[in-house]
């Protein structure tokens, strides 16, 4: 190589070295594309980032995970505010021994201002079982129902502010409770004793009284072939002076010869309570329950 060519080669080598340094300093073209789009935080105003609240109809997740809960909400509560509330308790057997007689106790006594209780079973062919206006009684009630199949059994308590507080429990049942005829419908005895009331009052240590009563009635649902619906639909409990204390409105899913247990907040005046009502055929209930 001639001496005159060496400066030109040196200049070319220096230029190549500078270009290599610039290329090493620049980030790869695809580096920006490799960053996931999700790594960019969403604006705080994005609606999806706002959690659902209890005041939004249907926004809550059903703690019993029933596929029919949304139907129940629309059927019984419409646009009213509904909240799941552990203070509304439903006690029943985990597994029912007899689908025609499933013992249930509902208790909302720790919830203040309860004006009305309803009880229903999601998967029964006749969903609503009972309505209870506690009045002078504690908002708790014991009774028995029929279950057609395994189902959530729920109680909903309406407080004075119009909010429905819902509690419930799953009950496993062998099924058929609503579509079987009552035992009494095949016996002539029920006609002689129809709407007969047996009951008693006991004093409670808290100063109130416990009322237990049983009413003779077949409580047919109308779902058994050839047997129409025949059930008690209204029971009013009054004191000896005629003042209404509580009201129970049982429907077809309540068990045959229904029995009810309720607790009055205070002892009623007089030595007895009046139990009056009717069934859906107009037959009257009229009896006195003594201490």
Please state, in angstroms and as integers, the Cα–Cα distance from residue 260 to each residue in 44, 141, 214, following that order: 54, 7, 7
CA R_g for the chain:
35
Q: Give the SS3 label for residue 93.
A: coil
- CA within 13 Å, CB half, 248: 30
For residue 19, pLDDT over 60 is answered with no
pLDDT, tens only, 110-134: 999 999 999 999 999 999 999 999 9
How do strand 128-133 and strand 114-121 relate by DSSP bridges? antiparallel
Q: Which residues pair with 236 in a beta bridge?
A: 247, 276
Q: Rounded to an integer, what distance in angstroms lies between the CA atom of residue 92 and that of residue 169?
A: 7
Give the tens place of pLDDT for each residue, 128-165: 999 999 999 999 999 999 999 999 999 999 999 999 99
* pLDDT tens readout for residues 44-93: 333 332 233 344 444 589 999 999 999 999 999 999 999 999 999 999 99
pLDDT at 268: 83
Q: Token pair for residue 58?
A: 């249907």
Q: Which pLDDT value is given to residue 59?
A: 57
Q: Show the 3-state SS of 194-208.
A: CCCEEEEEEECCCCC
Residue pLDDT, tens place only, 246-264: 999 999 999 999 999 999 9
**Contact between 104 and 94 (Cβ < 8 Å):** no
**Cα 149 to Cα 206: distance, rounded to the nearest angstrom:** 38
Average pLDDT, the chain: 84
What is the C-alpha separation between 255 and 97, in angstroms, rounded?
A: 14
On the question of pLDDT at 40 being above 70, the answer is no
The whole-model pTM stands at 0.79
């Amino acid at each position: 190589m001639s001496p005159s060519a060496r400066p030109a080669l040196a200049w070319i080598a220096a230029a190549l070295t500078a270009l290599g340094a610039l290329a090493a300093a620049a980030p790869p073209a695809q580096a920006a594309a490799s960053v996931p789009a999700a790594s960019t935080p969403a604006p705080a105003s994005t609606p999806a980032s706002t959690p659902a609240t209890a005041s939004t109809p249907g926004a809550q997740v059903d703690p019993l995970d029933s596929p029919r809960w949304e139907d129940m909400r629309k059927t019984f509560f419409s646009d009213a505010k509904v909240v799941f509330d552990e203070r509304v308790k439903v006690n029943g057997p985990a597994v029912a021994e007899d689908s025609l007689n499933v013992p249930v106790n509902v208790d909302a006594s720790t919830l203040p201002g309860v004006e009305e209780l309803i009880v229903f079973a999601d998967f029964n062919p006749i969903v609503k079982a009972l309505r209870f206006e506690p009045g002078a009684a504690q908002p708790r009630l014991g009774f028995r129902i029929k279950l057609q199949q395994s189902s959530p059994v729920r109680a909903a308590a309406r407080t004075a502010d119009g909010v429905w507080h819902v509690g419930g429990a799953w009950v496993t049942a062998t099924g058929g409770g609503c579509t079987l005829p009552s035992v009494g419908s095949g016996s002539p005895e029920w006609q002689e004793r129809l709407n007969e009331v047996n009951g008693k009052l006991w004093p409670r240590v808290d100063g109130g009284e416990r009322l237990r009563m049983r009413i003779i009635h077949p409580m047919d649902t109308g779902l058994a072939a050839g047997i129409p619906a025949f059930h008690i639909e209204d029971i009013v409990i009054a004191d000896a002076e005629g003042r209404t204390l509580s009201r129970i409105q049982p429907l077809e899913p309540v068990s045959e010869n229904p029995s009810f247990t309720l607790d009055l907040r205070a002892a009623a005046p007089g030595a007895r309570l009046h139990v009056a009502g009717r069934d859906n055929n107009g037959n009257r209930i009229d009896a006195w329950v003594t201490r």
